[in-house]
């Protein structure tokens, strides 16, 4: 699935790096606890979260993620967007909840890859 497909499915607003919308992604992870993201993410390339702080982007950078989707109409600060721009990470925002967003992209064929536990 391409990032632009996720944008369409979630009716998400693009906030930075629109030139990377054709990037292919193979999995996603939805979470608001960055400690869980660090502990459980293996090969996920998209992070969906309602947490809005610079640590989200720093976590995505550490894990080589290519896209962050902020849910529940969360809007990142200019500092967060600047960090994402420096790192080439696509950032979007959707009005949908985390649960709904994950369900939509999972139903469309994007998996979480590995089982946790």
The residue segments making up the domain with residue 46 are 3-107
CATH number, position 14: 3.40.1390.20
Q: Is residue 113 part of a domain?
A: no
Work out the average pLDDT over 5-28: 94
**Residue 115 in domain:** no
Mean pLDDT on 2-31? 94
**Residues 47-103: tens digit of each pLDDT:** 999 999 999 999 999 999 999 999 999 999 999 999 999 999 999 999 999 999 999
Q: Is pLDDT of 111 > 90? A: no
Tell me what the pLDDT averaged over the chain comes to. Answer: 92
Domain count along the chain? 1
Q: Which of 6, 9, 46, 49 is nearest to 27 (CA)?
A: 46
Cβ atoms 28, 40 nearer than 8 A: no
């Amino acid at each position: 699935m391409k990032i632009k497909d996720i944008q369409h499915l979630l009716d998400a607003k693009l906030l930075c790096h629109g030139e990377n919308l054709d990037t292919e992604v193979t999995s996603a992870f939805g979470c608001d606890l960055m400690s869980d993201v660090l502990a459980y993410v293996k090969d996920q390339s998209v992070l969906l979260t309602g947490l809005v702080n610079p640590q989200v982007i720093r976590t995505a950078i550490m894990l080589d993620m290519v896209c962050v989707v902020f849910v529940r109409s969360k809007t990142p600060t200019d500092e967060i967007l600047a960090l994402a721009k420096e790192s080439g990470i696509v950032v979007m925002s959707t009005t949908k909840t985390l649960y709904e967003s994950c369900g939509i992209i999972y139903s469309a064929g994007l998996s979480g890859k590995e089982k946790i536990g």
